[in-house]
A = this chain, B = another copy of it.
Amino acid sequence: MHDDLSPLCTRFLTAADLLGRRWTGVILRILMDGPCRFGELTERIGTISERVLSERLKGLEAEGILERHVDPGPPIRSEYRLTEKGQAFWKVIDELGKWAERWVDVKAPAQAQKGAKATRAVAPRKRKSA
């Protein structure tokens, strides 16, 4: 039985699940540079939909990782900033960034996974494909 994973795992799974939601890492990464407004986040990320950004921000706020701060202008603006819990995440993001710098080839568009369904380049299964 391999439940040696269990004790730390509940926490780890939670964290992995957090980062396992699309865009979470990117949002956190941007917020590491300082507070950011909704529109600014949309703009900087570029390809995220506002629907999902809104959802992610609410989720992260609920997790206590960031907080929404409303500046009643008059030009009313809301700002998202990391809490202490969120700030503590910088090491993870930092290591991820370092890994990416060293190992990610810019030419490979990360779409490899999608193609993978059809393209098994290495060690084809012994089973006959017909």
Contact = CB atoms under 8 A, between A and B. Distances in A.
17 contacts: A2-B43, A2-B44, A12-B100, A14-B104, A15-B25, A15-B96, A18-B110, A19-B25, A20-B21, A20-B26, A59-B116, A62-B113, A63-B110, A63-B113, A76-B126, A88-B103, A92-B96
Size bracket, chain A contacts: 35 or more
A98 B119 CA distance: 36
Interface string A22-54: 111110011000000000100110000000000
Interface of A: 2, 5, 8, 10-26, 29-30, 40, 43-44, 55, 58-63, 67-70, 76, 85, 88-89, 91-92, 94-104, 106, 108-110, 112-113, 115-117, 119-123, 126
A130 B120 CA distance: 54
Nearest to A54: B117
Contacts of A12: 26, 29, 96-97, 100
B121 A17 contact: no
A105 B116 CA distance: 37
B19 A19 contact: yes
B40 A2 contact: yes
B88 A99 contact: yes
